[in-house]
Structure 1
Amino acid sequence: MMTTFYILILAFFLLLAAIVIVPVFFGAPWHPLSDENIERIIIFADLQPGEKFYDLGSGDGRVLIAATRDKCAYGIGVEIDPIKVWLSRCFVKAAELSKKIKIHRGNIYDFDVSEADVIYLYLTRQALDRLFPEILDRVKPSARIVCYRFCIRNMEPAKVNEDKNLFLYRVNKGRSVNEYS
């Protein structure tokens, strides 16, 4: 009886580690956003109907759901954690947006972003430093990159919100962002 209890406790802590600790090594810990912050992000990104909104490190998928529901956009989420992928797919299905949102289990560093109109990133500075040079050559000429909380180092954003926690970068011909290449 006690052995079963200890196994359940161990399983709980292993699951907790998988959800909280492991993602830190792949880009960012999971930090769910408030509905208010999600709305600010969607407005700041200036999403237009029909655009493709990519969320790299999509967590529970709530930002994608808001983007597609509120702005009639299409959403692509990329998440490495299988538990969050399952959770976000459940949320998408519950929101009845399965035809407009696709959640992929994968690594953000090698995911194809060539069709993205807007790429949303809520990653650590280290993850942004690693990801940015890799996606610069793969994005379409008119893409916009929106970063929450952390800006891309050594780059001047095209737009910053008044709280200074949202940064928008405009890609120029897929080779530079705000004159950075």
Structure 2
Amino acid sequence: MTEHTYYREPFVRTPEELLDKKLELAQITKDDLIIDLGCGDGYVMIAACQRYGCRAIGYEIDPEIVEMATKAVEESGLSDRIEIRQKDFSEHDFSEGTVYLLYLTRNELNKFSLPLEIHAPKRTRIVTHDFDMPAWEPKETVEFPLMSGDTKFIYLFEK
């Protein structure tokens, strides 16, 4: 049997206090479709859908993490609003989605800069932290102190 190794950015859960600020900056409404590329355990999408009544699609390549996310979505009762796709997120159709909640390295964000510019609908919001979107001017940059004493930067971009 061949063991598969999946390349992916490390799965790091966004601290709740930071997530609250990212969701606030995104100005999510019930009409939004959230996209989470590298969705991990689904935590970000679950929080957004619970708070705002929106829909979400998450991409995750690692089958074990997909299983974890699928179970979390089912337990949250949001299976009708959240879809987990076991797929490389580089295959995402960027015309889909009105809000992107991302935690990717600058290198990964650079790969999506042009497809987002070309294909994303007008007024699409992109919220990242730690890393900004190359070639995009942030609409807003927030310096956010965590309770741990660490400081994070959150970036809001709008097409």
Coarse TM-score class (shorter-chain normalised): 0.7 to 0.9
User: What does 1:100-179 correspond to in 2, within 5 Å?
Assistant: 100-163=81-144, 165-171=153-159
Structure 2: how far apart are the matches of 1:115 and 1:154? 21
**Secondary structure of 2:44's match?**
helix
**Secondary structure of 2:143's match?**
coil
1:50 Cα deviation (Å)? 2.0
Partner of 1:78: 59
Structure 1 residue 88 and structure 2 residue 52: aligned?
no
Amino acid at match of 1:150: F
TM-score, normalised on structure 1? 0.76
**Secondary structure of 2:49's match?**
helix
Structure 2: how far apart are the matches of 1:155 and 1:134? 12
Structure 1 residue 64 and structure 2 residue 45: aligned?
yes
Structure 2: how far apart are the matches of 1:138 and 1:124? 21
**Secondary structure of 1:137's match?**
helix
* 1:97-116 alpha-carbon deviations (Å, 9 max, x no partner): 00010010111112113131
2:24 aligned residue (43, 47, 60): 43
TM-score, normalised on structure 2? 0.86
Structure 1: how far apart are the matches of 2:103 and 2:81? 21
1:80 Cα deviation (Å)? 1.2
Higher helix share: 1
Higher strand share: 2
Structure 2: how far apart are the matches of 1:119 and 1:57? 11
| Greater RCO, 1 or 2 (C-alpha within 8 Å, sep 6+) | 2
Partner of 2:148: none
**Secondary structure of 1:54's match?**
strand
Count of matched residue pairs: 150
Please list every run of at least 4 consecutive aligned residues from structure 1 whose deviation after the TM superposition is greater than 6 angstroms: none
Which runs of 5 or more residues in structure 1 are unaligned? 1-13, 172-181
Q: Percent identity?
A: 29
1:119 Cα deviation (Å)? 0.9
